[in-house]
Amino acid sequence: MRKDFCLLAYTVCIGIALVAGGCNDWLDVKPKSQAESEELFSREQGFKDALTACYIKMNSTSLYGMELMVSSIEYMAQFWDFTNNNDRNAKLFKDFDYSSSLVESTFKSIYSNFYNTIVQANSVLENLQLHGEVIENEKLRKMIEAEALGIRAFCHFDILRLFGQLPQNATIHVQLPYAKTVGVETIPYYTFDDYVGLVLDDINKAQNLFKECDPVLDYPFAELNAASGVGLEDSYMGYRRFRFNYWAMEALKARLYLYIGNKEKAYTAAHNVIDAKTNSGQIVIDLVRSKDFYSECILALSNNEIKDNIGGFSSSTSNFMTAANYGKLFSGKVTTDDFRAKDFWAETVSNGSYTYYEFVKYKQPEDNIVNNSEEWMIRYQVIPLIRLSEMYLIVMSDEPAELTEANKLYKSYMAEKNALITTDMAREELNAEILNEYRREFWGEGQMFYAYKRLGVKEMMWKTDREVEEKDYIVPLPTTESGSN
């Protein structure tokens, strides 16, 4: 069946009580009993189950299973069109109406689920120190620790991107909690720079551990799309693109450095990922000229509920794109060739009255079309978290990339999208195209709002009623929080 991969652990009793409340309440998460905790982490399988629970939580609809991929975060980027009777809730997010009960409850749920995921990762890390000797395979033990650190860094960084201040030229300053323990103690709040330092520290620790254990250093991602296809010591070490891994940490580093304005380090890290080779010299990952975006994922989740939650998200009445806006999105591009235009969007006529474009990026085939459960997991049930395309866009960004190199790379990048570019562009024009590519490439992946926030953009495409203000970019912390923003 299709439910075997990571999400099999929905049926596993993790033995961790996840509770609601303020952040320091959410972080006050303890095992139901000391005996249950000791039982869970008294064997290797318990550590595997506890780590898998982190991925399950990340797949929830409050996080990357919906809200931070296709709905709330994309409404804030002014994405999606609606008929008049179906835009009321979305408009609250588009207007940045953080005082509305719907918006407030949505972000409270996002915030709590982030920290519950972090608590789960911290529980794994704490118990590795206490009981890690039960994992006899040293590489497996290091990999579990590295993945838990990666999860903690990734979730904290997205908390920063959503609830934190502008990364540059901020006049509204925000402190946020960074959780590194499981327990009743108050979690300290940190300034923006200190918080970034903690994220980077976790990334570097994870990457140093991955250097000693990650199979992706020996095999390309494509060869690790099976649990034991390359004869791994433990099948749990397979499916590396669907788990935090060495190159995901380098890519996350590139994303973080670009976000805080350190373009030189972002350029270097992104280039490292683009040029990545295994120890034997094989290319680790490459761009693809097809709708199969899964194959250029550096990090993704496999979600067997994608058909119900996201696959039918777009319809003739909500979450579609008008013909006019479709034209703006692909302005200057030949839409009959560009696979994003023709494979991610389906032109449809609704009852003969108007033409709209349905978003079909996550639309799942009928159950009888694909019989192989592994193919379902690695090709269709995919929630992309970081893709190689983003690394190309980071390298092309202004400084330190030379304009000649940036244009050459842009042509190469667009050729893989089946959209040939023959002329060079001036830097200002290329920067505008890079921003357009964030819209075209990552629609439905929750990245555009953060791109706007990183740049402090005041005029978002499709927001015509007013300029976007600094406070619009800062989602308020839940009212139960001891800190504030």
Residue 288 has a pLDDT of 83
Residue (of 385, 363, 354) closest to 314 by Cα position: 363
Burial class (CB in 10 A: 0-12, 13-18, 19+), 174: buried
Residue 1 has a pLDDT of 32
Residue 23 has a pLDDT of 39
Average pLDDT estimate for 381-410: 93
Beta strands of 9-149 (E only): which ranges? 81-82
Alpha carbons 405 and 398: distance in angstroms, whole number: 11
Residue written as token pair 């799942």: 364
- Tell me the per-residue pLDDT of 150-173, one tens digit each, with 9 for 90 and over: 999 999 999 999 999 999 999 999
For the cut 90, the answer to whether the pLDDT of residue 484 exceeds it is no
Amino acid letter, 478 = P
Percent of the chain with pLDDT over 70: 89
Higher pLDDT, 367 or 360: 360
Which of helix, strand or coil describes residue 263?
helix
Q: Is the dihedral of CA 439, 444, 445, 450 positive or negative?
A: positive
Q: Tell me if 461 sits within 8 A of 78, measured CB to CB.
A: yes
For the cut 70, the answer to whether the pLDDT of residue 208 exceeds it is yes
pLDDT band of residue 305 (cuts 50, 70, 90) is: very high
Rounded to the nearest 10 degrees, what angle do helices 403-416 and 427-442 cross at? 30
Residue written as token pair 């842009």: 410
**Range of 2-16, 213-227, 370-384, 461-475 with top mean pLDDT:** 461-475
The C-alpha angle 440, 337, 318, rounded to 5 degrees, equals 45
Give the single-character DSSP code of 283: B
Residue 5 has a pLDDT of 33
Give the phi and the psi of residue 281 in degrees, each rounded to 5: 95, 5
- Tell me the per-residue pLDDT of 26-58, one tens digit each, with 9 for 90 and over: 333 344 455 567 789 999 999 999 999 999 999
**Range of 22-26, 191-195, 317-321, 340-344 with top mean pLDDT:** 191-195
Residue 399 has a pLDDT of 79
